[in-house]
Structure 1
Amino acid sequence: MTKETSPQSFLSQELLDILRDPTDGSPLVLDESQANLNSPTSEKSYPVKNGIPRFVEQEHLSSFGLQWNKYEVAHDDEDRATFTAKTGMELSDLNGLRILDAGCGGGRYCKVAAEAGGIVFGADHTTAVEKASKLCSHLDQVRLVQADLKHLPFEPESFDFVFSIGVMHHDKDTRAVFDAVARMVKPGGKYSVWLYRKNQWWQEGINSGLRKITTRMSPEKLEPWCRLGAWLGGIPVINKTLNKVVNFSNHPNWENRVCDTFDWFAPAYQYHHTVDELQSWFKEAGFEQLKILPPEKTGSFYRWCYDHNLLIGSGVNVQGTKSGENQADNKPS
C-alpha cells in the first residue's frame, strides 16, 4: 500500500465518496479540470491545490502552518510510541480501519496510522497539510483536507477510529471542536482526545501573562526567544526545574525543542482542561467505556508532578467508545 511517486495530485474515489459540503452536508462533485469541488445545492466551490481540497484559509492558526512547514520534527520510533500512548490504540489494531486524524498538522500520526494498515483521513486548518502530504507521499491510503474541525467536510459517523492530539485547545471554543469531531465517529467506534492539562493557579497566571506578550509578537521576533528556551531545555537540572515555572521544551532533539516552545507561545488561543471536564464531554456526546490514558513518561517524581498538575504542557487524555446498537458487530469499513 505504498507508492513511489511524489505527493498525489489527484483525488481518490474513496475521498470523493466521503466528502461533503461543510455548509449543508451535500455531496461534492469534482469538476472536469479537477481544480474545484462544487456543491450542486449550495452552489459553493472549493479549490483543490496540490491534490488537497481546501475548505478554509489559515486564519488565527497561521503560526501552525509556519511551524510545521519549517521544522523537521518527525521521529519514527518516538512517533509510534506517542501515538500508542495518546490514543490508547495498539498499532496492530489499526489494519483496515477508516481513521480520522483531527488536526493532523505535519502528518506524523497520519503516517504512523497508515503504515500500520489504517485508511487515514487527515484534516487540518492550516497549510501544514502540505507538509503532511510530503511526509506521507509513499502511502496510498492517506487522504488530506484543509478544513475547520468545527465544520468538517465528511459524512457524519463515517470513521471507525477518530483521534485528536494536542489540537482542540487552540480554538476559541474547545468544546465546540470536540463535539463536531465526535459526530464523525461510528456507533461502536473509538474516539481519543489529548488536551492541555490545567496547572496550578500560579503557573496558569505566569503563563497567561507571558502569552499576552508572545501572541502579539511576529514569528521573526518570537523565534529567537524560542531558541533561548530550546537552549535552556538542553541544560541538565534547569530543563527539569525552571520549565515548571516558564514553559520550554526539554525534548532531546534541538529542532523539536524550538518547535515545541514556539507551539506553546505563538498560537492565538490556548486553553487548559481537567480530566473530569473532558470525561463529561465524552459522556454528554454519547460515549461510554471511558478510559483515562496515563502519560507516556514514567518515573516516581514525574508521576508525582503530573498528579499534582505541576507539569506545564502535560495533558488530559481520554478514550471512549461511541454508544449505539450493534457495537459488538462494528467492523472496519
Structure 2
Amino acid sequence: MRCKRNSGRFARRKPRRLHSTLRRNMRKSTLDILRCPKCSASLALETNETADDVETGTLRCKECAATYPLTGGVARFVPAENYAHNFGVQWNMFSKTQLDSHSGHPISENRFDQYTGWREADLADRLVLDAGCGAGRFAEVALKRGARVIAIDFSHAIDAARANLRDKGDIDFIQADINALPFAPNTFPLAYCLGVIQHTPDPAISFRKLADIVAPGGRLAVDVYPAGWKNIFFVKYWIRPLTRQLSAERSYRLVEKIFPILYPVSQVVGRIPRLGHYLRYLIPVVNYEGDYPLDPRQQREWALLDTFDMWAPAYDQPQSMAALRGWFEKSGFEDIVTFHKGFFVGRGIKPTGSRR
C-alpha cells in the first residue's frame, strides 16, 4: 500500500483535548460492559485498591465462579502462552516502530482513515473497540480523535500497548481472545480489526464474534490479506511451513541472521524498472522502499519487523473479496463497502433493529 507524503498535514493538525484524568489501569466502571467469556454472565471485581482505576485484583464470574486475573492494569482472560505468542514477542521488541508519534509520519493514521472511513466527529467521545491492538498503532489514532478506546490483544503485546498509550487518553487494556470476547452483546458503536483476522484459526468465526458485540446502528471495519493466484509467487508462503514450526525466539534469531544478507538484494531487485516491485516478493524479506516516506533507518526497522511478522504467525489465511463481503452479509450488516487498498477491506453498519 502506497502512502501519500502528507506529513505536513499530520504536523499541523491540532490534537484533540484529552480527558482531564488520564488513567494507567483498568477503570472499575469498565465492569459494566465486561462478561465472562465462558458463560456470558456479569463479573465482580475483587481488589484491595480504592482508586477508580485498578492495577491488580481478580475478576470473578457471578454465575460459574470462573476467575480472571487483573495484573499490571490489564484484565487477562487468556493464558499467558497461546498461539499468538510470536506477536507478543514481536510487539514488545518493536513496541514503537509503527506508532505515528514515533515515526513522524501519518502512516497508521492514513490507513485508519482509508479503511474505516470514519471522520473525527464519528470518534469523538464514542466507545471504540480495537480488536487486536498490537503495540497500539491504530488505538493511538483513535485516542487522538477523542475516542474512549477498549484495546484488546490475545498476546502480551497488550503490555506494549499499555506502555505506549496509557498516558494518551481514555483507554482500557484487556488481554482476550477474539473468539471468546469478554463483552456484552451489542456493546460497541464502533469497532475495527486491522491486520488481525487472517491470523486467527477460523477468520469467519472471528468476524462473527466481532459482529455480535457491535451495537445496533454501529459500524465495523476489518481488513484481510488478499487471496488470489498471485500468492503463489509470494515466497513467504513457500517457507512458512518450515518457519511456523519454530519458536518465536528461534524464528527471530534466524531472521536476524538472514535479513542483513537478503535485504540489500531485495533493494537492488526492487529498483528494476516496472518489474522490481513484483520481483521483490520472491525474496523472503519485506521491503517498503518507495512505499512509505521513511528514512533509511526507519525503512530497515519496518522491514525487519514485518519480515518477522510474515515468518512467525501460527496462522496466515488470506481471504477473497467475496468471502469478506459474505461475512458482512451473513451477519446482517447494511451499507457494506468492500475494496482493495493494499489489503482487502470491508466495512458496514449493523441495522438498528438487529439484536444479534
SS at 1:221 equivalent: helix
TM, length-normalised to structure 2: 0.80
Q: Please tell me whether residue 285 in structure 1 is matched to residue 331 in structure 2.
A: yes
Distance across 2 between alignment mates of 1:227 and 1:210 = 18
Secondary structure of residue in 2 paired with 1:30: strand
Aligned counterparts of 2:43 and 2:315: Cα–Cα separation in 1 = 32
Q: Which of residues 316, 321, 324 is equivalent to 2:352? A: 324
Contact 2:225 2:319 survives alignment (8 Å): yes
- The one-letter code matched in structure 1 to 2:348 is G
Kindly indicate whether the alpha-carbon contact (under 8 Å) linking 2:266 and 2:283 is maintained by their aligned counterparts in 1.
no
Structure 2: unaligned runs, 5 residues or longer: 1-17, 49-55, 289-293
Give the counterpart letter for 2:305 in structure 1: C
| Cα drift, residue 323 of structure 1 | 1.6
Correspondence for 1:75 among 100, 113, 118: 100
> What is the CA distance between 1:254 and its match in structure 2?
1.6
Q: Is the 8 A contact 1:63 1:267 kept in 2?
A: yes
Correspondence 1:240 to 2:277: yes
Q: How does 1:108-123 map to 2 (within 5 A)?
A: 108-123=137-152
- Whole-angstrom distance in 2 between the partners of 1:164 and 1:43: 30
One of 214, 223, 235 as aligned partner of 1:194: 223
Q: Residue 126 of structure 2 aligns with which residue?
A: 97
Contact 1:214 1:222 in 2 (8 A): no
d(CA) in 2 for partners of 1:89 and 1:232? 39
Q: Which amino acid aligns with 1:237?
A: R
Whether the 8 Å contact between 2:220 and 2:347 is mirrored in structure 1 is yes
Provide the residue aligned with 1:63 in structure 2. 86
Q: Work out whether residues 61 and 126 of structure 1, in 8 Å CA contact, stay in contact via their aligned partners in 2.
A: yes
TM-score by length of 1: 0.85
> Match for residue 249 of structure 1?
286
Partner of 2:318: 272
Report the Cα offset of residue 315 of structure 1. 1.4
Q: Deviations over 1:30-50 (max 9, x none)?
A: 103342111121111111111
The equivalent residue for 2:117 is: 88
Q: Which deviates the most, 25-34 or 95-104?
A: 25-34
Structure 1 contact 88–293 (Cα < 8 Å) conserved: no
Which runs of 5 or more structure 1 residues have no equivalent in the other structure?
296-313, 327-333
- The letter for the 1-side match of 2:350 is K
Superposed displacement of residue 11, structure 1:
2.1
- Rounded Cα–Cα distance in structure 2 between residues aligned with 1:216 and 1:285: 34
Name the structure 2 match of 1:300.
Answer: none
DSSP-derived class of the 1:188 partner: strand
Report the equivalent of 1:44: 66
CA shift for structure 1 position 201: 5.3
1:206 CA displacement? 4.5
Equivalent residue for 2:164? 135
User: Is it true that 1:125 corresponds to 2:164 in the alignment?
Assistant: no
Please list the CA deviations of residues 171-190 of structure 1 after superposition, one character each: whole Å capped at 9, or x if unmatched: 11111111111111111111
Task: Report the counterpart of residue 239 of structure 2 in structure 1.
Answer: 210
For 2:52, the equivalent position in structure 1 comes to none
Confirm whether residue 224 of structure 1 aligns to residue 257 of structure 2: yes
Report the 3-state secondary structure (helix = DSSP H, G, I; strand = E; otherwise coil) of the residue aligned with 1:149.
coil
Output the CA distance in 2 between the equivalents of 1:194 and 1:202. Answer: 17
Aligned equivalent of 2:191: 162
When the two chains are superposed, the root-mean-square deviation of aligned CA atoms in Å is 2.3
- Find the aligned partners of 1:250 and 1:116 in 2 and give their Cα distance: 31
Distance in 1, matches of 2:260 and 2:118, equals 34
Secondary structure of the 2:83 match is: helix
Contact 1:129 1:144 in 2 (8 A): yes
Structure 2 residue identity aligned to 1:69 = N
SS of residue in 2 equivalent to 1:183: helix
Percent of residue pairs identical: 27
Deviations 1:88-133 (A, max 9, x none): 2223421121110111111111111011011110110000011100
Deviations 1:182-233 (A, max 9, x none): 1111111111010000132562684432111211232322333345454445
Residue 315 in structure 1 maps to residue 343 in structure 2: yes
CA contact (8 A) 1:3 1:137 kept: no
CA contact (8 A) 1:125 1:148 kept: yes
